[in-house]
Amino acid sequence: MRKHWRFIRKFIESPAQIGSVLPSSRMLVGSMMEAVDWQRANTVVELGAGTGVVTQAINRLRSPQSRFYCFEQDPHMRTDLMSRFPGVWLERDAFELEQVLKQRGPGQADCIVSCLPFANLDDTAREHLLAVIHRTLSPGGLFIAFQYSRQLLPYLSAIYDDVDTRWVMLNMPPACVYICRKKQP
C-alpha cells in the first residue's frame, strides 16, 4: 500500500512523467506478459518501471539466463527498484536505450515492454523513441506497450507489420495493450 501512495504522490508532483494516478493492475500486467515466449527472450527491456509492478512480473517470468534492462527516470523509484531487483540492470533514460544495449549487451532486445506515457511526449520525441525501440528490437522481437487511448496505433501500424490491440477494462483507468512484432528478415 505504501508503494501506491508513493506512486500517487509522484503523479501529483509530475503527472506528465508518471502518466497515471495508480500503478498497473494485475489484469493489465497479465495481459502484457502473456504474449511473450519467456524461454526465447534472452534480452528483455522495460521502459518506465515506476514502482516495479511490471518489473516484478518480468523478473519472475524471464529465464534465469536472460539479461533484463530496466529504465526509470525518477531517482527515488530507481533506487527502490535497485534494492528490490539486484539482478536487473537499472538505467535512467529510455532515450538512451540504443546506447545502453550497444555498450552493455548484445545491441538488440528480444522483448521491450513499455509503461511510458507516450501521449505525454511531443510528436518529435514520441516518433524518435518509437524508432529507437524498433531499431533495437531483434528480428521477430516483441514491443509491448499500454496506453489509455488508441492514439499510438497509427505510429505503431506505420512501423510494425503485426500490431495486436487488447483492451483491459479491469484497470483504472481502462488501458489498451499494444503487442507489436518486428518482421523477420
What per-residue confidence (pLDDT) applies to 84?
Answer: 97
Per-residue pLDDT of the chain (185 residues; tens, 9 = 90+): 455 445 444 444 554 444 444 577 999 999 999 999 999 999 999 999 999 999 999 999 999 999 999 999 999 999 999 999 999 999 999 999 999 999 997 899 999 999 999 999 999 999 999 999 999 999 999 999 999 999 999 999 999 989 999 999 999 899 999 999 999 87
Helix (H) or strand (E) holding 53: helix 53-61
User: Looking at residue 119, which CATH number applies to its domain?
Assistant: 3.40.50.150
Report the relative pairing of strands 43-47 and 109-114 from DSSP bridges. Answer: parallel
H, E, C per residue of 115-173: CCCHHHCCHHHHHHHHHHHHHHEEEEEEEEEEECCCCCHHHHHHHCCEEEEEEECCCCC
Burial class (CB in 10 A: 0-12, 13-18, 19+), 160: buried
Question: Could you tell me the three cell numbers for 170?
Answer: 479491469
Domain ranges, residue 99: 2-181
* 147 and 119 Cβ atoms separated by less than 8 Å: yes
Half-sphere exposure of 92 (CA within 13 A, CB side): 3
93 to each of 3, 71, 73, how far by Cα in Å? Answer: 22, 6, 6
Split into its structural domains, the chain has a count of 1
- Say how many residues make up the chain: 185
